[in-house]
Structure 1
Amino acid sequence: MGKLLGAVAALAVSGAQAQGFDPKQPCTDILRDADETTLAMVGAWTFGYLASQQTDARPVDLANVGVILGNLSKACKPGKSLLDLVGGSSKQDAGPAAGSKAEARALLMRFFDPSEDLVALTGALLPKPEDVRAVYSDPLASKMIETYAAALKPGIKFGPKPEHDDLYMIYTTTAKLAAGDPAMDEFPGGYRKVVQYFKSDVPIVRFKFVRKGETSGLAFDGLVYVNNHWVILPKPWRSLD
């Protein structure tokens, strides 16, 4: 701690003429005439702000500070404050909340992108045994694991048909379904047979690839958010005795 305080004191003395900055000032005013000490403070402040808004903090070093400052310089426009730039970046980078309806929709809309690899997209949704057990209790969970091992093999894919251009989606949670959520009417009837096996409250999605304005199309069920990722656990009732 003593070394740190000494370094701060030395910086204060050596940078006595440093401008400093107010994040609410126009970025053009801050960056145009900033000395090296002020630029270092801008970079450090930006790193700290972004880290406070996101879950993934990047290493703070001179190379990354240079990248940050370069990005700020390119994005800086008259009338924009530094806070506007960095705050907008953090919101954009953060994206939809994990497990949210918006995140589920964004994920599924990727299946319409012709540049996406549908095998890779589907493969990322294939469940591991621990995913199944986190949602369903035994004996159903063990039987589902056996069913999926045979049916959901690496290399499989799903996606919209050529005539489909939109997504119809029902988002709820397993606890709500078990409690009689009206959304149950949108799920296959077999779910009424498995709600007793739900062991946790997790987001669950029923979705269809459809033509715009329609609600009938290529239907799927059992997209759930569990263990910090989305997986597909389709037709669980088929594993019942």
Structure 2
Amino acid sequence: MRIAAACAVVALSLVGACSSNSDSPPKAPVQASTAASYPAGQEGAEKVVEELRTSADPGVLVKGLAPTGDDFRGLFEADFAAKAQAFYSASSPEVGALAKPEQTEVKLWSATSEDLKANSGDAGQFPGGYAKIAQYLKPGVTLYRWKYVKPGADSGMAYDGLVHTGSRWVWIPKPWRVLEG
């Protein structure tokens, strides 16, 4: 239970860098990686989550993955996009390590908006909250969920909400909380 609570706190804190006043992508800090610019698809997602796992300063990477207003509007229907932007813009907490040093393996799943609506494909690997927001996703959106685990383990630090917008990667964890907030 403690791990689940810690994951929820970390996941919510990860998007605090979202800017409600800017629709342009965040400017990359001098030490920023290329995580947001990796190519779309499974290979790009693998690179992003691996960079998040190994980064000495994941907060810089997370800020580079913060969605803009344009990102929200490109992924969600209009009303939900506006609520999501306001929700994720509400805080900017610190980001710590996303994986423990011994969690060297990554498990990664993807589901399209259509998979989530129909509960097909790997949609069953996603938290149940996705069923609540699937109706608000635009067609053709592919989301990624992942875990950092010890070699041979199935449980570990779990995250969700990584998505390619068509031009860059953004991270919108636990989007169903928009409906709760």
Q: Give the TM-score normalised by structure 1.
A: 0.54
The aligned residue for residue 159 of structure 1 is: 98
Give 1:113's match in structure 2, choosing from 54, 60, 65: 54
Change (3 A) 1:154 1:230: farther
The aligned residue for residue 217 of structure 1 is: 156
1:119 is displaced (CA, Å) by 1.8
Is the 2:40–2:166 contact (alpha carbons within 8 Å) kept by the matching residues of 1?
no
Letter in 2 for 1:160: A
Number of equivalenced pairs: 143
Change (3 A) 1:232 1:128: same
**Cα distance between partner residues in 1 of 2:123 and 2:53:** 26
Letter in 2 for 1:98: P
Does 2:82 correspond to 1:176?
no
**Cα distance between partner residues in 2 of 1:204 and 1:103:** 12
Does 2:117 correspond to 1:186?
no
1:154 is displaced (CA, Å) by 7.5
**Cα distance between partner residues in 2 of 1:229 and 1:154:** 23
Is the 2:147–2:159 contact (alpha carbons within 8 Å) kept by the matching residues of 1?
yes
1:223 is displaced (CA, Å) by 0.4
Does 2:62 correspond to 1:144?
no
1:98 is displaced (CA, Å) by 2.2
1:147 is displaced (CA, Å) by 1.1
1:210 is displaced (CA, Å) by 1.1
**Cα distance between partner residues in 2 of 1:121 and 1:98:** 16
**Cα distance between partner residues in 2 of 1:222 and 1:174:** 12
Letter in 2 for 1:100: G
Letter in 2 for 1:148: Y
The aligned residue for residue 235 of structure 1 is: 174
The aligned residue for residue 14 of structure 2 is: none
Matches within 5 A, 1:1-241: 98-113=39-54, 116-151=56-91, 153=92, 156-157=95-96, 159-240=98-179
**Cα distance between partner residues in 1 of 2:165 and 2:86:** 19
Q: Secondary structure at the residue paired with 1:132? A: helix
**Cα distance between partner residues in 2 of 1:191 and 1:112:** 24
**Cα distance between partner residues in 1 of 2:82 and 2:128:** 21
**Cα distance between partner residues in 1 of 2:135 and 2:111:** 17
Q: Secondary structure at the residue paired with 1:205? A: strand
Tell me which protein shows more helix as a share of its residues.
1
Q: Can you give the 5+ residue segments of structure 1 that lack an aligned partner in the other structure? A: 1-96
Is the 2:111–2:121 contact (alpha carbons within 8 Å) kept by the matching residues of 1?
no
Taking every aligned residue pair, what percent have the same amino acid on both sides? Answer: 33
1:179 is displaced (CA, Å) by 3.1
Q: Secondary structure at the residue paired with 1:189? A: coil
The aligned residue for residue 6 of structure 2 is: none
Letter in 1 for 2:72: V
**Cα distance between partner residues in 2 of 1:100 and 1:182:** 16
Q: Secondary structure at the residue paired with 2:47? A: helix
